[in-house]
A and B are shown apart, each in its own frame.
Chain A
Amino acid sequence: MILARPRALRKNGVLSMNKRNIDYIGRYNQRKFYKRVDDKLSTKRLAVANGIAVPDLIGTIFVQHAINDIPKMVRGLPGFVIKPAKGSGGKGILVITKMEGDRYFKPNGDEVLHDELYRHVSNVLSGLFSLGGNPDVAIVEGLIQFDPVFEGYSYEGVPDIRLIVFKGFPVMGMLRLSTAASDGKANLHQGAVGVGIDIGTGKGLHAVQFDNPLDFHPDTQKKLTAIAVPEWDTLLHTASRAYEMSGMGYLGTDMVLDKNRGPLLLELNARPGLAIQIANNRGLLGPLQHIERLGDEPMSVEDRVTYSKEHFCF
């Protein structure tokens, strides 16, 4: 059988795309708050105002002629990242990890010529990567010095931690590790490895690549389920606080661990994908319905994290 029986999936609480769209995104995410998460610049400002750590903002490019200011902007830095403010699914992110004078290099060692850089930023401003093709803004961010705890777990990229936060409760977590197949990107559909993380302990549970279970990282051969994410409590707290900050009931938070600064909030996602279920080898529907049953009694961030750790661990 290639197909699963719908009843078996329902029994295991697997959330479907249609149900996510109608019953969770449609019901708990108010349209007026979308700007806060779809625009990374807004997210960044909001996060700073709420005391949540984010990667350094080096500068923003609003108009075409400002593109030529980038070399001046980044001079003397170890590297930088250019992102479209309204990009989705990791599209249009350019990472420069090495600079030799005015020459820029990508994580895989390829040089990025100035023309290429110019064209890339120009495309960003024209809205090529933004939802609906609207004109956009390019953000120049500082490079993240990723925590050596993940050394050997990630190939040419920054591992990031995705948490699904429902009404302020972190309900499911996943560590995304880039691979050679994913070209250093942390998106699962591009071939990154997803490791389900136990909400209670921050330890690895189960790992997948291209929706298939695996035990070892395909490039580094390290055992994936042996991972334990440090500063797990801080991550849970930051994610939980993102609920009040964004106003989104059904939210995906993407965070990275910086060697020096600890957990940084990369971006928020109002339409987090469903692959996290495969990485965790369990459905989201159970925890989501559990929280829906709690009602609307307000709880503090502290209480919510404690509650989640108690109820959604393995």
Chain B
Amino acid sequence: MHSKKPFYILVALLFILGVSTCLYRSVEHHVPFLPGQQVQSWAVDAKVSFQGSGKPVEASFSLPQDPAYEVLVENTTSPGYGFSISNADNQDKRAIWSKRAASGRQDLYYKVTLIPTGQTKIAASEEPDAPTPYIWPATEKAAAEQVTQEVWDHSATNLSFAQQLNKEFNATERSQNVELLLSGNSATKLFINILHNKAIPAREVSGLYLEDQRRRQELVNFVEIYNEGQWYLFNPNDGTQGRPENLLLWGQSGKSVLDVIGGTNSQVSFSMLQDTRSALATSIDILRNNDALSFSLYQLPLEEQSLFKGILLIPIGVLMVVFLRVLIGIKTSGTFMPVLIALAFIQTTLFTGLVGFLLIVACGLMIRAYLSQLNLLLISRISAVIIVVIGIIGVFTLLSYKLGLSEGLTITFFPMIILAWTIERMSILWEEEGPKEVVIQGGGSLLVATLAYLAMSASWVQHWVFNFLGIHLIILALVLVMGQYTGYRLLELRRFKPLAGE
């Protein structure tokens, strides 16, 4: 007797692999576990407007770049303008509108749909260069150095330095030095300058508070401090630290949000709308945007996709058959015939399918009874039955069409060869063992087919088998485990009841 250890290791590996690919798909690609799940999305409109003076115009507008939001769709409306998107070093994504001559008021629109990713940390891809120190004007030099020194003494790291400084700026009773400095500078600029003088990388970023159905919103300034591979968000204006909820970082490069050359009086305002959309469609869109469709069936042409949607249901049906035969002990005619019948049921729906199946088999049995008198060879008899089955299907389809029963048209989805064999087997069974056995085996097959159909037609099952391919490894593991089951089948408990000695 050989060891079963490798077998169980294999099963465990399949299981773990299956579960982890499913989890990966859910966590990494945001494929929802349930069909029909909704996600929030934000539609943000930015309106850039300025006065043209008849000269060539170039407007450069920074675009949202925030790990917390994934850009799903973006487009612009700007009649008469040339448009391009530049993305310098993947750091500074900007929209650039240009026109040879623009005069009067110009309105340019940029629309973007965003999906929250839940990724609130801002990781730095590389260590930023050391900032150039700021040279204070003579009037502020002493005050600035004093404030810096004080905060420096009370802090340990870059981060705590920024925290202390932020607190100092927003204390209820600010020191005279801070008051003096703030009177001549904006809090954001001052904050960055002090940090830069201590060689701490810091930059100004703009953020937009996302609130449903708001219009004419403005960007808010924040400061990002670099500390050990990550950027931390501060708002020196109100002394808060960290990312507020529903904040979208717009420009992250530290450069200006809008530059207009050749125009005056430029300004930008935002309006936004919250929306819900299908989580699955969203994740597919994101995958498509990222070219990350590899290992997903969504990269196949639509026709093949729908083909696979059917094929990938077969493992579920097979699992059902294995379960019902090994653990329950139901007899079927033909091992996997019920799965094929169940696949046909998916097209026809259950009731029409059952009625159609019974009609075809009943008619087939009658005609087969005649054929059996003709003394044909088996192969030609089966072939004759196949042709007759096609005829029956044709007649029923026509009849239901004439009668206006559109359900009847789906009868063509039944696999004809399988039906012919079923009729042949049932007919032999009838002659050999009588109608009772035909009812038992035929009923068993239909019961298994119905259960397989119910399992296969559940919308979440269809969602899972197509979107989480790892589920098939789990099914494989289950089938292998059931193949090792040596216990009693449910129906054996009844059969061997006299032997229980109770």
List chain A positions with a Cβ less than 8 A from chain B.
1-6, 8-9, 11-12, 14, 16-19, 22-23, 27, 64, 91-92, 115, 118-119, 122-123, 126-128, 190, 208, 211-213, 274, 277-278, 281-283
Q: What is the number of contacts between chain A and chain B, taking CB atoms within 8 Å? A: 92
Q: Indicate if the CB atoms of A4 and B497 lie closer than 8 Å.
A: yes
Q: Indicate if the CB atoms of B498 and A213 lie closer than 8 Å.
A: yes
Question: Which 6 pairs across A and B sit closest by C-beta, in order of nearness?
Answer: A126-B378, A4-B500, A19-B486, A8-B500, A3-B493, A16-B488
Can you give 11 contacting A-B residue pairs, CB < 8 Å? Answer: A3-B493, A5-B493, A8-B502, A12-B500, A14-B488, A14-B500, A18-B486, A27-B1, A126-B378, A212-B498, A213-B498
Chain A residues near B377: list those with CB within 8 A: 64, 122, 126
Q: Indicate if the CB atoms of B379 and A126 lie closer than 8 Å.
A: yes
Q: In chain B, what residue has the closest Cβ to A280?
A: B499
Chain B residues near A1: list those with CB within 8 A: 502
Q: In chain A, what residue has the closest Cβ to B501?
A: A12
Chain B residues near A6: list those with CB within 8 A: 487-488, 493
Chain B residues near A12: list those with CB within 8 A: 499-501
**Cα–Cα distance between A127 and B425 once the two chains are bound (Å):** 12
Chain B interface residue count, CB cutoff 8 Å, equals 30
Q: In chain A, what residue has the closest Cβ to B429?
A: A91
Q: Indicate if the CB atoms of A17 and B492 lie closer than 8 Å.
A: yes
Chain B residues 459-502 with CB under 8 Å of chain A are 483-490, 492-502
Q: Indicate if the CB atoms of B486 and A5 lie closer than 8 Å.
A: no
Interface flag for B428 (CB, 8 Å): yes
Interface flag for B275 (CB, 8 Å): no
With A115-B375, A128-B378 in contact, is A18–B497 under 8 Å at CB?
Answer: no
Chain B residues near A91: list those with CB within 8 A: 432
With A3-B494, A19-B486, A127-B378 in contact, is A8–B372 under 8 Å at CB?
Answer: no
List chain B positions with a Cβ less than 8 A from chain A.
1, 326, 329, 372, 375, 377-379, 428, 432-433, 483-490, 492-502
Q: Indicate if the CB atoms of A18 and B485 lie closer than 8 Å.
A: yes
Chain B residues near A9: list those with CB within 8 A: 488, 492-493, 496, 499-500
**Cα–Cα distance between A281 and B500 once the two chains are bound (Å):** 9
CB distance from B499 to the nearest CB of A (A): 5
CB distance from A3 to the nearest CB of B (A): 4
**Cα–Cα distance between A12 and B502 once the two chains are bound (Å):** 11
CB distance from B32 to the nearest CB of A (A): 38
Can you add 4 more A-B contacts, CB < 8 Å, to A190-B433, A282-B499?
A2-B497, A14-B500, A27-B1, A128-B378
**Cα–Cα distance between A3 and B495 once the two chains are bound (Å):** 8
Chain A residues near B432: list those with CB within 8 A: 91-92
**Cα–Cα distance between A6 and B494 once the two chains are bound (Å):** 10
CB distance from B111 to the nearest CB of A (A): 63
**Cα–Cα distance between A14 and B500 once the two chains are bound (Å):** 8
Q: In chain B, what residue has the closest Cβ to A20?
A: B486
Q: Indicate if the CB atoms of B490 and A283 lie closer than 8 Å.
A: no
Chain B residues near A128: list those with CB within 8 A: 378, 428
Chain B residues near A22: list those with CB within 8 A: 483-484, 486
Chain A residues near B489: list those with CB within 8 A: 16-18
**Cα–Cα distance between A14 and B499 once the two chains are bound (Å):** 7
Q: Indicate if the CB atoms of A14 and B496 lie closer than 8 Å.
A: yes
**Cα–Cα distance between A128 and B428 once the two chains are bound (Å):** 9
**Cα–Cα distance between A19 and B487 once the two chains are bound (Å):** 6
Q: In chain B, what residue has the closest Cβ to A211?
A: B495
Q: Indicate if the CB atoms of A8 and B501 lie closer than 8 Å.
A: yes
Per a CB cutoff under 8 Å, which of B326, B488, B499, B502 touches A277? Answer: B499
Per a CB cutoff under 8 Å, which of B329, B372, B499 touches A17? Answer: B329
Per a CB cutoff under 8 Å, which of A118, A122, A281 touches B499? Answer: A281
Q: Indicate if the CB atoms of B498 and A278 lie closer than 8 Å.
A: yes
CB distance from A297 to the nearest CB of B (A): 17
CB distance from A279 to the nearest CB of B (A): 10
Q: Indicate if the CB atoms of B490 and A3 lie closer than 8 Å.
A: yes
**Cα–Cα distance between A237 and B87 once the two chains are bound (Å):** 91
Q: Indicate if the CB atoms of A4 and B378 lie closer than 8 Å.
A: no
**Cα–Cα distance between A122 and B381 once the two chains are bound (Å):** 12
Q: In chain A, what residue has the closest Cβ to B421?
A: A133
Chain B residues near A277: list those with CB within 8 A: 496, 499
Q: In chain A, what residue has the closest Cβ to B492?
A: A16
CB distance from B215 to the nearest CB of A (A): 69
CB distance from A288 to the nearest CB of B (A): 13
Chain B residues near A2: list those with CB within 8 A: 494, 497
**Cα–Cα distance between A274 and B496 once the two chains are bound (Å):** 9
CB distance from A136 to the nearest CB of B (A): 10
With A122-B378, A126-B378, A126-B379 in contact, is A16–B498 under 8 Å at CB?
Answer: no
Chain A residues near B501: list those with CB within 8 A: 8, 11-12
**Cα–Cα distance between A9 and B493 once the two chains are bound (Å):** 8
Q: Indicate if the CB atoms of B433 and A16 lie closer than 8 Å.
A: no
**Cα–Cα distance between A92 and B433 once the two chains are bound (Å):** 11
Per a CB cutoff under 8 Å, which of B372, B487, B499 touches A18? Answer: B487
Chain B residues near A211: list those with CB within 8 A: 495, 498
Chain A residues near B496: list those with CB within 8 A: 4, 9, 14, 274, 277-278
**Cα–Cα distance between A211 and B496 once the two chains are bound (Å):** 8
Chain A residues near B379: list those with CB within 8 A: 126
Chain A residues near B329: list those with CB within 8 A: 17
**Cα–Cα distance between A277 and B501 once the two chains are bound (Å):** 13
Q: Indicate if the CB atoms of B502 and A4 lie closer than 8 Å.
A: yes
Chain B residues near A23: list those with CB within 8 A: 486
CB distance from B489 to the nearest CB of A (A): 6
Q: In chain B, what residue has the closest Cβ to A93?
A: B432
Q: Indicate if the CB atoms of B487 and A4 lie closer than 8 Å.
A: no
Q: In chain B, what residue has the closest Cβ to A5?
A: B500
CB distance from B234 to the nearest CB of A (A): 67
**Cα–Cα distance between A162 and B500 once the two chains are bound (Å):** 23
Q: In chain B, what residue has the closest Cβ to A135?
A: B378
Q: Indicate if the CB atoms of A3 and B372 lie closer than 8 Å.
A: no
Chain A residues near B492: list those with CB within 8 A: 9, 16-17
**Cα–Cα distance between A9 and B500 once the two chains are bound (Å):** 5
Q: Indicate if the CB atoms of A283 and B378 lie closer than 8 Å.
A: no
